[in-house]
Every structure is written in structure tokens, then in C-alpha cells.
Amino acid sequence: MHSLRLVFLLFGVVYGQLTNAQCRLLYHSQDLISTPDQDVAPDTVDQITSIESRGALSKYLIVHYAHSKRKLIAKNSIWGYMDNRKAVWRSYEKELFLVIKNNGGWVEYAVNRPVRTRLTAMHGAIMYSRTLDSDIKSNWSDAMADVPKGYIVR
């Protein structure tokens, strides 16, 4: 019984650390590899607690800061954002794409799309792009169209 309590306690500590991760706005794809400034004390900067979309057709994101402050950010003014689970989202043509895989040769994204004419039913679609900054296409061949013939993509 005590070991079960210990397992739940450890799970709670790990889950608490994951949910306290800070969200980040990414203005360029290079911001993924850079770290936020460590010179600034964390209590002097407005900490972003969450980022959410106002909807699929909206051109704004709602950024929630600590102390109940909110701000609207245009989707086309940023490259994307990192949520509190460290998942990277790319903003492209007023739509948000979850970056699934980036291996240097191509990038895979996931996005929810409506099923035919019903807007309430959604299905997940996999999309591709050559680099983090290139156009997102629905199939891999279109995304790799600019690759020279004979070039091996890994």
C-alpha cells in the first residue's frame, strides 16, 4: 500500500513539472534551437501560461500571461509557438500545424481537418514540407519537388 502511494506521489511530481513548463512564442524557425535569455530573472518577465487559437478561421491567437493578462497575437506575425508540453506548433496560412518529425531532410506535420461538408467531424491529416520554412503540402512528393534529381533525402 505504501509503495502505491509512493508511485502516485512520484507521478504527481513528474506531472507537475511537465505542466509548469513555460510556453514560448517563436518568431522564426531558428528560435527552436535557441534558448530564451537566461540573463533575465523569470519574475521580471511576463510568463506565458498558455496559448490557444480563437478558432480555425480566426487570424488571432490568445496568449495568456501570468496574473490573468491576455493578449491577441496575429497568427501571421509569428512562425509558431511551443506549448507547455514542449510540442511545437507552426502557424501557416491562418492554420496551426503540429510538428511531428523534423529530421533535416523533411518535416512532418499533423493537422485536424473537417470531414467533407460537416464542420463538427474532424480527422487528422499528415502534411509535409521540405524545411521548417518552406510551404506545407498534403503529400510528400509535392513537398520534395524542389529537390534535385539524384539527391538522397534521409
Closest C-alpha to 109, from 126, 134, 124: 126
> What's the whole-number mean pLDDT along residues 10-17?
49
pLDDT digit string (tens) for 107-117? Answer: 999 998 877 77
Percent of the chain with pLDDT over 90: 31
Cβ proximity of 79 and 31 under 8 Å: yes
Spatial separation of the C-alpha atoms in residues 36 and 44, rounded to whole Å: 14
- What predicted TM-score, i.e. pTM, was given to this entire model? 0.73
> Residue 32, Cα to own-chain centre: how many angstroms?
10
Q: List the single range of 16-25, 66-75, 138-147 with lowest mean pLDDT.
A: 16-25
Q: What is the pLDDT of residue 43?
A: 43
> Residue 124, Cα to own-chain centre: how many angstroms?
15
Length of the chain: 154
For residue 37, pLDDT over 90 is answered with: no
